[in-house]
Structure 1
């Protein structure tokens, strides 16, 4: 694997600062000039890498979705055990997702996916790949009779439907103790769905 070029490193740096600024003041209020000011550089340097704010937004969406994938950290090549499945569920229903990416930006762009087919395709690709990976794990455990699911793919889909709803709801909750309690309740519901104790 080769080293990253200076261009790639600089672009990544710009995207991360754009993310921090947008997280603080909102995407609509963020401009190339404001990002350049935070970086203490001339805006033309950003334009050298990203011709428009729209180009920068596309790169930011990719960055957010890559961070979203980090929550799940599922290796489709691994031979998973029931213990691994418990670990995956613990990660899925943990507060780590709150630290990985900003909910307001994630849902800003999610809302835009209803108007922008390219953004919609990015979200669908990520979400479908996650469902597929979990479905594969459930199917393998089912084949080894460690789970007794009628339809592992459908069960994986239900888990992600449940998870998406939980993430959205809990992003609105301000009482941190309530978030922890709800996450534990949701996790227990998923164990019931998987017929695990």
Structure 2
């Protein structure tokens, strides 16, 4: 048991170093050798934990998911009320919190790799599905409690994430803070319309 936790901790450390390199130099320039050098490890140790660069990228996608799931963390003051929890999640989803959690350029680089590699593509789809399913569960709870009127929570969650993905893809190119915030407000309003709160 202790060995497994040491392995998990070491893998997490390696992924975090790999992420730092990808953030600074671009994912295409992040390598096992650079990761070993920055982590102060022998390259063979990196290969022991991650058999290839593709395995390391898969670990990075898991790391992205763990970070992105923090979007669903709401303050204790919102707990106990399904509507206020869902509204807080929507606030988080349409905020700059995504940018704080994970670097856009690394995320989009992983997405580009997902189009070229079947295993990375499967892992990235799993990441997106996990986020959608999490939102769907919150929508189902609100629907069950009569807080909103949607016919299909899964489709509603999917449409909100299509809106989110498109919004951030477009807004990543908007450099004016005022325009960026206005865009987020506009897209958030559309998401709230989709939710059809009672």
Contact kept? 1:80, 1:137, Cα under 8 Å: no
Whether 1:128 aligns to 2:132 is no
Give the structure 2 partner of residue 150 of structure 1. Answer: 151
Residues 25 and 152 of structure 1: CA distance in aligned 2, closer, same or farther (over 3 Å): same
Residue by residue, what CA displacement relative to the aligned partner does 1:101-144 show, whole Å, maximum 9, x if unpaired?
11112111212222222222222223223323322332332233
Structure 1: gaps (5+ residues): none
- 1:2 Cα deviation after fit: 7.4
Equivalent residue, structure 2, for 1:64: 64
In the other structure, the counterpart of 1:35 is 35
In the TM superposition, structure 1's runs of 4+ consecutive aligned residues that sit over 3 Å from their partners are 1-4
How far the C-alpha of 1:95 sits from its partner, in A, is 0.6
Say which is worse superposed, 45-54 or 165-174, in terms of deviation.
45-54
| Alpha-carbon spacing, 1:42–1:180, altered in 2? closer, same or farther (3 Å) | same
Structure 2 counterpart of 1:13? 13
Deviations 1:146-168, CA, capped at 9 Å, x for gaps: 21223332222211111111121
Whether the aligned pair in 2 keeps the contact of 1:71 and 1:97 (CA below 8 Å) is yes
State the shift of 1:80 in Å. Answer: 5.1
Gaps of 5+ in 2: none
Within-5 A mapping of 1:112-191: 112-191=113-192
RMSD: 2.6
Partners of 1:12 and 1:128 in 2: how far apart? 22
Deviation, structure 1 residue 79: 6.7
Q: What is the TM-score normalised by the length of structure 2?
A: 0.84
Task: Find the aligned partners of 2:70 and 2:122 in 1 and give their Cα distance.
Answer: 19
Q: 1:188–1:12: structure 2 CA closer, same or farther, 3 Å change rule?
A: same
Count residues in correspondence: 194
Aligned partner of 1:94 in structure 2 is 95
